[in-house]
Structure 1
Amino acid sequence: MYMRYFSRLLSAMAGPRPVVFSGPSGAGKSTLLKKLMKEYESVFGFSVSHTTRNPRPGEENGKDYHYVTLEVMQAGIENGEFIESAEFSGNMYGTSKAAVQAVQARNLICILDIDMQGVMNIKKTDLHPLYISIQPPSMDVLEKRLRDRKTESEESLQKRLKIATVDMELGKEPGVFDVLIINDNLEEAYGQLKHALLEDVNKVKKVNMSS
């Protein structure tokens, strides 16, 4: 019942086609997204996810995430307020309908930065976004990037690497993603990303110029 209702709701959501970004932690996804948002701030809008984890140093509530309690998150999921939700390292994450609608209402391309579980959940809806996977060149490179951050315990790091292995395998399966970018060189990866989004960017610019 909920999924049928939600399918109708998504069909009614007006605005540019959203873009789903996925990829393991340490693949460079956040860096690429920041570059994209800086260059095209009048084209893209970020869907701010909800999470039950605590903020990291420098993170802001409402900007990086909506930080909520587990009880609040579970109530929202039960009330059908989320497009997708998933558990990662003992914390809940989710994308609310309101977060996507807020971006689309401004005629911006909504960016959804989600994990593989969330990607599979969105594929069950009528959202029809462009799916982009950002991947590291190898597991060795990924491990080095994560270790260089010095933000993880060894246990947490091993958990991330295990999840990343599964993500990378699923990400390479035909039909899961529309675009697969291997981030070996940041500038080259960014060039590929811009090329993949060119058509959608031009559509939004055209509409915004004429309005």
Structure 2
Amino acid sequence: TGNLIIITSPSGGRKGTLITELMKRGVGIGYSVSYTTRPIRPGEADGQDYSFIPVEEFEKRIADGEFLEYAKVHDNYYGTSKSRVERLIGEGVDVILEIDVQGAADVLKTLPDAVSIFILPPSFEALAHRLRARNTENPEQLKLRLRNSFDEVRRFDEFDYVVINDNIADAVRRLESIIVGERQRRTRQTDAIKDILDSFDASKYIIKEQS
């Protein structure tokens, strides 16, 4: 089976940009597209960045138990499809979840073996500049996201790894090294190790017969 990799950050941490660049490197990972009720932003594609759905449809999916996790963040719903994640992991694909800090913490309560990575901006000023530069929030929404960031950055110690996003190329390399390294953990290679040990056990008899 594949690994579940959770990547989170405060709003403006550029986790989406990092994941897009990571996927281009061909490291053999899948991406679970989350659902959201927020408006689509310029440059985004429905079904690629997020699946954009109305509030009524989102709440029906909640009632039907379709989400691995969901949360209301900055007055919008975000949720992760349980079936999408289970299908990809079952196919042996490492799956990346790009979710908000609260949603990431909720998934880890249910799936503590998931690999969790917190993207930390280099400073508050850098985060504020990024949020203002993307020009997708009105002044009240911007204030809310900046206010929430004070609490969110302090939750870094709930996650396995911290990547400081001071430079996109460097941060992507760090993410890639974490994902590749996690694949080498003994506990994530039990089936492959068992097959190898079985081959040694079977060979004992051949050696005995030849001696």
Which interval holds the TM-score relative to the shorter structure?
0.7 to 0.9
Query: Partner of 1:168: helix, strand, or coil?
Result: helix
* Aligned partner letter, 1:186: I
Letter in 1 for 2:3: R
Given candidates 88, 96, 100, the residue that maps to 1:115 is 100
2:69 pairs with one of 58, 75, 84: 84
Distance in 1, Cα, partners of 2:14 & 2:44: 18
Query: Could you tell me how far 1:92 is from its partner in structure 2?
Result: 0.7
Q: What amino acid maps onto 1:126 in structure 2?
A: L
Match of 1:30 among 16, 35, 40: 16
Q: Contact 1:49–1:99 at 8 Å: present in 2 too?
A: no
Deviates more, 1:46-55 or 1:130-139: 46-55
Alpha-carbon deviations, 1:124-145, whole Å to 9, x = none? 2136210000010111111111
CA distance in 1, matches of 2:14, 2:51: 22
Tell me what 1:128 maps to: 113
Instruction: Give the percent of matched residue pairs that are identical in Structure 1 and Structure 2.
Output: 37
From 179, 198, 202, the equivalent of 2:180 is 198
Answer whether contact 2:9 2:100 (CA < 8 A) is retained: yes
Q: Residues of 1 paired with 2:133 and 2:44: CA distance? A: 19
Aligned to 1:186: 168
Q: Answer with 1 or 2: which has the greater Rg.
A: 2
Distance 2:37 2:127 in 1: 25
User: Retained in 1: the 8 A contact 2:122–2:166?
Assistant: yes
Cα deviation 1:13-35 (Å, max 9, x = unaligned): xx211100000122221221111
CA RMSD of aligned residues (A): 2.0
Q: Cα offset for 1:201?
A: 5.2
Which letter does structure 2 place at the counterpart of 1:181?
V
Structure 1 equivalent of residue 81 of structure 2:
96
Cα distance, 1:64–1:190 mapped onto 2, change above 3 Å = closer
Structure 1 residue 91: Cα displacement: 1.2
8 Å Cα contact 2:2/2:90 also seen in 1: no
Letter in 1 for 2:178: A
- 1:94 to 1:190, Cα distance in 2 relative to 1, 3 A: same
SS of residue matched to 1:75: helix
Whose helix fraction is larger, Structure 1's or Structure 2's?
A: 2
Which residue in 1 is equivalent to 2:5?
Answer: 19
Total equivalences in the alignment = 187
Helix, strand or coil: the match of 1:124? helix
Q: Does structure 2 conserve the Cα–Cα contact (< 8 Å) formed by 1:83 and 1:95?
A: yes
Deviations 1:111-157 (A, max 9, x none): 00011111121122136210000010111111111112222222111
Measure, in 2, the Cα distance between the counterparts of 1:28 and 1:58: 15
Question: Please, what TM-score do these two structures have when normalized by structure 2?
Answer: 0.81
> How do residues 35-50 of structure 1 correspond to structure 2 at under 5 angstroms?
35-40=21-26, 43-50=28-35
Q: Give ranges in structure 2 of 5+ residues lacking alignment.
A: 193-211
- Structure 1 portions without partners, runs of 5+: 1-14
